[in-house]
């Protein structure tokens, strides 16, 4: 039985859009453009190059990687 709450990485998406002023597709595209880097290297790139917090960066990377496995 579901309680209707969004769970997992997508639960961060509204906060990411509000905090950084870009649609989530913007951030997903950046991660997709990073290529075959390791998960934590992609997280580090989002943090260093775009100023994202660790949790937000990790959620975006986790989502992109899960979609790629698809």
Task: Specify the pLDDT at position 31.
Answer: 98
46 found inside a domain = yes
Residue 41 to residue 7: CA distance in whole angstroms: 24
42 found inside a domain = yes
pLDDT digits (tens, 9 = 90+) for 2-54: 567 778 899 999 999 999 999 999 999 999 999 999 999 999 999 999 999 99
As a dihedral over the C-alpha atoms of residue 20, residue 23, residue 24, residue 28, rounded to 10 degrees, the angle is -100
Predicted TM-score (pTM) of this structure: 0.90
pLDDT range class, residue 69, cuts 50, 70, 90:
confident
4 found inside a domain = no
14 found inside a domain = yes
């Amino acid at each position: 039985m579901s309680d209707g709450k969004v769970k997992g990485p997508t639960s961060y998406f509204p906060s990411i859009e509000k905090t950084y002023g870009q649609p989530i597709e913007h951030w997903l595209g950046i991660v997709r453009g990073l290529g075959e880097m390791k998960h934590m290297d992609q997280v580090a790139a989002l943090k260093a190059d775009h100023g994202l917090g660790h949790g937000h960066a990790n959620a975006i990377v986790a989502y992109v990687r899960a979609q790629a496995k698809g």
